[in-house]
Every structure is written in structure tokens, then in C-alpha cells.
Amino acid sequence: MSNFSILGTPFEIAGVTIKNRYAFSPVTTATMWDEKGNITPRFIRYMEERAKGGFGLLVTGALTTDTAVDPYAATGAAFMQNPEAFKETSKQMLDAVHAHGAKMFAQLTLGLGRNYPGLPSTSENVVFGTADQLSPELTTEQIKTKIKELVEAAAFVKECGWDGIEVHAMHWGYLLDQFAMKCFNRRTDEYGGSWENMLRAAREIVEGIKEVNGKDYPVGMRFSLETYVKDANQGLLTAEGEQGRTLEESIMCAKMLESYGYDYLSVDTGVYDSFWYACSPMYIPQSFMFDMAAKCTAAVNIPVICGGRMNDAAACADALAEGKFTAITLGRPGIADPEYPNKAIAGEIEKIRPCIACNAGCFKSVCMDLKPMTCAVNAAAANEIELDLKPADGEKKVLVVGGGVAGMEAARTAAMRGYEVTLIEKSGKLGGHIIEAGAHSFKKEIQQLNSWYQRELKELGVNVVLNKEITAEALKSCPADAIIIATGSVTAMPPIPGIEKAITALDAINNPDKLGNNIVIAGGGLVGCEIGYDEVLKGKNVTVVELMDDIMAAGAAAPLPNIMMIKAEFAARNVRVMTKTKVTQFCDDGIIVQKEDGTEEKIEADTMINALGFRPAPVSADLPNACVIGDATGAANILKAVAEGYRAANSI
């Protein structure tokens, strides 16, 4: 049995004591600054909640220090524009964090380089996500200017009372990482060629910080142990063919970084071009970083803080006991449950609200939708002030109709506020469509989420009534003060000849033994592609047919790391993907499709799957005290369902 108490033991970074083995990873929220350069109350509360929840060390997202070279600052732009505002609001945040015994480091970036259009890189490199757009090459003088400004910012950070600095970053393929990757550093000056030259910028940064802040002031490096990249926009599923930085080269670099004066390494893996490792979706197994981190730990004499799918607390406790790393850094799991450390240290694993590694509220909201961060399973994440749980408004009875994730979240929230809650579900079990979502081999966290909700409802005293379908007439005479309708969705059946010959996506997921060896999936959205991925992992032959220009793009497009990995896996496993292709008929032995050029083709298969979407289940009650949420309002995902469930119940 795991010894969870080890998670609560302290460790030191350059003489600074961190109270336990949990760090909160640097994550960009898009809410840190206001227009005057103040750290916002919203961001302060977000960090305070994580400190209160038990994180021993908290690190900000990347703060831009360069005001002279880059044409724009892609992150933390307000940091050096109004230093007095930063200093004053830093004190407010640090006081809030320190009150809970936590330490806080500022993450300072040299820049983002080719990861974003228009920013200079180590060499003239193709910009991520583009075919031929090039980033300009930094001059030697520009590099020195960037380093000088970062060091000056570090001195100011110490003056503001921060406990330490994390340098951003030899990870995720950001600018400092581009210096240390063979495929992106083709320089012939003092910053290219040998590994000593490729790491020169990293060396000059830490030496400069130590000179202005003193040798005892903590400075760490965010550091990828394997980049998984062949070239620009060519990520790798395995380390074979690595042209960025291999694990062995990274271990060598780790020793060099220690010799330069870095006090800890916060390790993960991957770059933008291999986003499935950098911001791993659920398709990447938990704890995959353990062995890589162990090799780094064995090679250096400074703390190694390990990140990347570290949300199995029992496995992490065991790995800590084995000495595979010094501490754990959690990003998404700490967004999902701010109290993760306190619960894990106490061994109350079943109480942790599980992160499902969907990337929908954290990565996609900020990086793709350009909106503030949220979380699929924690509607209040990064918005704790506005969405704080309200006390009950008197004694009220609340009826929730539908036991899917939207209904369970609504029932849980209403009960937490102190209301008397009844939840009615027409089937014999709770979960709705997350039962099917959690049935895939790579989605055990969604099963855990369903179990977590059911334990929460039981503990909160929610009256759960199963195998009962309530009519609209019954709702009208219901004595409830508030009714929340979360009746979900059913499979869409578009008027395509022979569609009844196909099995539905839900049936395919629930009954995988029904599926033959040659499978054609009509619909290349997230549901269809994940069915295809699960089946191709079993060795099946899979064809995916999609009407749109691309797969996983219908409705609310899937997060980029998820899309990139599915596409890479499909290519590696010879899945046939037909886009801009219309299904015109389902046959007994396959489907007939019409391609973009108007030609038809019959795709033979022994199993046809209808993954053409869902439609809301009928909702006929028109009541002044009722609201409709989740799939019942239209196609939804877990993010939308949980958000609507929380907001509906919190507004009663």
C-alpha cells in the first residue's frame, strides 16, 4: 500500500524550504493582468486557492522581460510596463500565498521564438503551424540584449519579494529550447555549434541572475527531457528519429545546467510540434514521465521536479519513495481540484476531483479560443471570485431531471449550497453519456469522474431516484421550488438511405465485441475518431469518413494536442481518412460515399458505425421555475455540461 505521508515531507531548493512535494505548474490563465499592469484580484484568488489547497510551491505562467527585441509580447506583456503596479500587487499575491505556508516563484521567459508568428528565433526557422512562414534569426547583439533584460527583471522580482525564479524555458520548444535543439539551432556564432555554445544563453542567464540576486537566491529551469521532433511541424510518436534533443543529450544538458548554477530542474517532455507529449491528452498514459525523470535524478545533485500526467497520487508516492524524482508539479490536476495536495497527503484519493486530461478548458480556451482559462470539471477554476459558491437563499427544494454529468453537477452544487435536492434518472445508473466516454481504453479518468460524482451526491445527501421517467405533466405539479432539466441527447439519424443498417456510436462503445475487423465510421468528429483510435489499437482496419474539410473540427473543435496526436496515430497505423466526403448510402456490407470531385466509391466493411452526431432529447416542460442545461440544449461536451450545471444551480 502506498505511503502517502511522503507527499507531505519538505524539501529544499537552494536553502528555501518547500513544505511538501507538490508544486503548482506555471499555467497561463489570460487573466493575470489588467490594462494598467496590475496583477488582478481574479488571478490572486486563483493562486490563493491553490496555496490553501496545499501546494508547497506555486509558479506563475511565463512573464515577458524583453521590451526591446521582440515586436510584441505574447505572454505577460504588462510585467515590465508598469513596475510599480507589479510591485504593489505582487505583495498582495505573495501575502495571500505565504499565509498558507507556500512559496512562490516568478517564471521569466527569454521569449517564445518560432512557436508564434513574427517572433525571432535562434535561426531562420519555419513557424509552428505554418507551411513556409519563417521566423527571423536573432542577431548576436539581440540575444545579449534579451539576456540583459531578463537579468534586470530578475533583480526587480527579488526586490518585489518573490521567493525565487524559474527560467522559461528549455521546454515545449520555446526560444531557450530552440537554442538547445539541433534542428532549430544552425548558428555559427558563440550561441551555436557545440553543446556548450547551444547552452550559452542558459548559462549567461543564471550567472547574471546569481550576480545581481546573490548565489543563495533560487533559480530553476523548466526543462524537457525529450523533444520528440524530426523537424518543424514534424513531431514524433517515439524517440526514433529524434532531431531535437534526445534523452541522453538532455541528461548531459542537465549536468551542464547544474554546473552553471541552476538550483532545480522542473522536467517534462515534448514541444509544440509534438504537443501530445507537451500537453498530453488522455491518450498518453499517466506516469509516463517516471523513468525519464529517474534517469535525470540519478545524474544530478539538485532537486528534480517531475511533471506530465502526474495525477496518480499513489503511483507518485511510490515513485518518490523509490527516489525517481524529488517532487511533483501539477498543472491541470491542480486546476481541476485546488485541494489536490491536501487530499493526496491525507490519503483521501477518492475525494480528489479527477482531471480528465481533455485540454478543453485550460489549453483550448486560452491558446485556441483566446479566452480566459477554465476547466471542464471545475467551472469556477480561475474565476473563483465571480463564481464563488453562494449560500442558500432560504429553504428550497430542487429537482434535477437527468443523471448525466450536467445533472450530477447541478445536483451537487445545489446540495453544497444547502438546498434539499432530488435527482431523477430514467435509466438504472448515473452518468449519462460519460459512461460511454469513459469506456474507451484510454479514458479511465472519465470513469473516475463518474464515480467521484456519485460519491459526492451520496455524501451530500442528494435523493437519487433511478429507473424513473418523469412526464411534463408531472413536472407541472411537482412541489419543487426550482427544476433543472438535464435530459441529455440521443443519436442523430439523418435521412441517409440504409442508416438503420449501421450501429450507433454509443452501441459501438458499449458493445465492442459487436465490431468486426473492417470498420467504417461515418463521422470524423471527436466521438468517431476516438472510436477509430480505440479500434485501431486493437489491430482493426479502420476508415473514417468526414464531410468537413478536416477531422475533429465539427462544432467546438477538439484541442490541438488531441487533434495532432489522433492524426499522427492514424497516419502511423494506416487509418484511411476521407475528408470532404459525403455518405450517400449505408449497405449491408459497407457504405457508398461521394467524394469532393463528385465521384462515388463503395467502402466495404463488416461494421458500419453512425457517428454523425447527437440531437437533444425531447424537453416539453415549459415552466417558469425550470431551466434546461447540457446536451438537452444542443450538442455539448463535458466542459459545457459542467459549466451549465454549476451556473444553473448556483443561481437558484
Q: Say whether 247 sits in a helix, a strand or coil.
A: helix
pLDDT digits (tens, 9 = 90+) for 470-521: 888 888 888 999 999 999 889 999 999 999 999 999 999 999 999 999 999 9
The whole-number pLDDT of residue 622 equals 74
Q: Report the C-alpha gap between 288 and 472 in whole angstroms.
A: 50
Cell of 257: 545546467
Q: What is the pLDDT of residue 109?
A: 96
Please list, in sequence order, all residues whose beta carbon lies within 8 angstroms of the beta carbon of residue 513, skipping any fewer than 6 positions away.
Answer: none
Q: 291, 292, 270, 266: which is closest to 280 by C-alpha?
A: 270
Q: Is the pTM of this model over 0.75?
A: yes
Q: Give 332-385 as a DSSP string.
A: HHHHH-TTHHHHHHTT-GGGSPPP----IIIIIIIIIS------SS-TTTT-TT
| C-alpha cell read off for 508 | 459501438
Q: Please state the φ and ψ torsions of residue 565, each to the nearest 5 degrees.
A: -70, -45
Q: What angle do CA 14, 277, 298 make, to 5 degrees?
A: 40
Radius of gyration of the chain (CA): 26
Nearest to 447 by CA among 432, 456, 434, 458: 434
C-alpha cell at 42: 481574479
- What is the pLDDT, as a whole number, of residue 633? 82
Q: Classify each residue of 589-621 as buried b or exposed e, where b means 16 or more C-beta atoms within 10 Å of its C-beta.
A: ebbbbbeeeeeeeebebebbbbbbbbebbebeb
Task: Assign 3-class secondary structure to 145-211.
Answer: HHHHHHHHHHHHHHHCCCCEEEEEEECECCHHHHHCCCCCCCCCCCCCCCHHHHCHHHHHHHHHHHH
Catalytic residue among 46, 174, 277, 340: 174
What integer pLDDT is reported at residue 247 of this predicted model?
Answer: 99
What pLDDT score does 179 carry?
A: 99
- Active-site residue 72, yes or no? no
Q: What is the pLDDT of residue 240?
A: 97
Q: How far is CA 482 from the centre of its chain?
A: 34
The type of residue at 559 is: P
Give the DSSP per-residue string, 574-616. Answer: T-EEE-S-EEEEEETTEEEEE-TTS-EEEEE-SEEEE-S-EEE
pLDDT along the chain (652 residues), means of 10: 94 99 96 89 98 99 91 72 91 99 98 96 98 97 98 97 98 98 98 99 99 99 98 98 98 99 99 98 98 99 98 98 99 99 98 98 93 97 96 95 97 98 97 95 97 99 96 87 93 95 96 96 97 98 98 87 98 98 97 97 98 83 83 85 97 96
Cell numbers describing residue 232: 518543424
**ω into residue 169 within 30 of 0, thus cis?**
yes
Domains and CATH numbers, the chain: 4-368 (3.20.20.70), 397-490+617-650 (3.40.50.720), 499-612 (3.50.50.60)
Picking from 287, 283, 187, 268, the residue whose alpha carbon sits closest to that of residue 228 is: 268
**pLDDT confidence of residue 621:** 63
Residues facing 109 on adjacent strands: 64, 168
**Residues 233, 222: Cα–Cα separation, whole Å:** 22
For β-strands 614-616 and 489-491, DSSP reports them as antiparallel
Secondary structure letter of residue 557 according to DSSP: P
The burial of 68, by beta-carbon neighbours within 10 Å (0-12 exposed, 13-18 middle, 19 or more buried), is given as: exposed
Q: Return the pLDDT at 616.
A: 87
